[in-house]
């Protein structure tokens, strides 16, 4: 198994643990504190930060360091539009090829439903990680390496947006599960139009919550 380098460990931690948290928005990141938390020197942390700068996820401010900017309304809209294009395309490919991953998506949805009780902050990160896996199953089943890679590249933004949306509406966990169930049912039926409609409905609700917040 490939052992992650210090830079890879720092990048993964920043992407999945730090930048995905709504609390990080509008803050400056401390390289020394991050290095201590991750268990690496400051050099790989700085390298990881530069990678994230190149991806547009953070900004380097002279004299202040790494800044986590809020997602603008335009960025949120563009993210959701791109997700819609990729997910609808994947659904069409899967339905045509007969490779719809209904069982895998249903299993992931069952795990989400098990976490849907209680306050939004309970198991929030796990719930959103499962949310990402739910959609990635559909993307990967389309059989396009480029499609899967492109979608996976949205991970940090999707984690961040997903957590923000989860806290942005009451009972959002249950709503997400209901919307996901509609997607699975439409895909199971083999109806491409219904599948696209279910995907769009889910993304529209998420977008509305994020823009309202």
Residue 59, classed as helix, strand or coil, is strand
How far apart CA 71 and CA 80 sit, in angstroms, is 12
Quick one: pLDDT at residue 95?
Answer: 98
pLDDT tens-digit readout, 100-133 = 999 999 999 999 999 987 655 558 888 998 999 9
Strand partners, 59: 67
Question: Using an 8 Å Cβ cutoff, are 134 and 108 in contact?
Answer: yes
Range of lowest pLDDT (19-33, 87-101, 182-196): 19-33
How far apart CA 93 and CA 144 sit, in angstroms, is 9
- Let me know the angle formed at the C-alpha of 158 by 152 and 160, rounded to the nearest 5 degrees: 135
How far apart CA 63 and CA 31 sit, in angstroms, is 13
Quick one: pLDDT at residue 213?
Answer: 60
How far apart CA 39 and CA 207 sit, in angstroms, is 36
pLDDT tens-digit readout, 79-97 = 999 999 999 999 999 999 9
Tell me the average pLDDT across 15-30: 87
Range of lowest pLDDT (20-29, 52-61, 63-72, 107-116): 20-29
| pTM of the shown model | 0.86
Strand partners, 60: 66
Question: Using an 8 Å Cβ cutoff, are 212 and 167 in contact?
Answer: no
What structural domains does the chain harbor?
A: 6-67 (1.10.10.10), 73-212 (1.20.120.530)
Quick one: pLDDT at residue 205?
Answer: 96
Quick one: pLDDT at residue 122?
Answer: 57
Q: In angstroms, what CA-CA distances link 183 with 1, 8, 118, 200, 202? A: 35, 34, 24, 10, 8
């Amino acid at each position: 198994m490939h052992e992650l380098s210090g830079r890879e460990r720092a990048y993964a931690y920043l992407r999945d643990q730090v930048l995905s948290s709504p609390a990080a928005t509008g803050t400056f990141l401390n390289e020394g504190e991050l290095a201590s938390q991750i268990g690496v020197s400051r050099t790989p942390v700085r390298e990881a930060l530069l990678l994230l700068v190149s991806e547009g996820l953070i900004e380097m401010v002279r004299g202040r360091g790494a800044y986590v900017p809020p997602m603008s309304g335009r960025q949120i809209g563009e993210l959701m539009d791109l997700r819609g294009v990729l997910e609808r395309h994947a659904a069409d490919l899967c339905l045509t090829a007969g490779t719809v991953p209904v069982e895998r998506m249903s299993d992931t949805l069952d795990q989400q439903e098990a976490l849907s009780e209680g306050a939004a902050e309970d198991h929030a990160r796990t719930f959103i990680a499962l949310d990402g896996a739910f959609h990635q199953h559909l993307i990967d089943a389309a059989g396009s390496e480029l499609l899967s890679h492109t979608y996976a590249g949205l991970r940090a933004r999707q984690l961040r947006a997903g957590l923000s949306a989860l806290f942005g509406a009451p009972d959002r966990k249950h709503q997400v599960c209901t919307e996901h169930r509609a997607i699975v049912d439409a895909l199971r039926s083999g109806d491409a139009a219904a599948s696209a409609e279910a995907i769009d409905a889910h993304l529209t609700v998420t977008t509305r919550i994020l823009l309202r917040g």
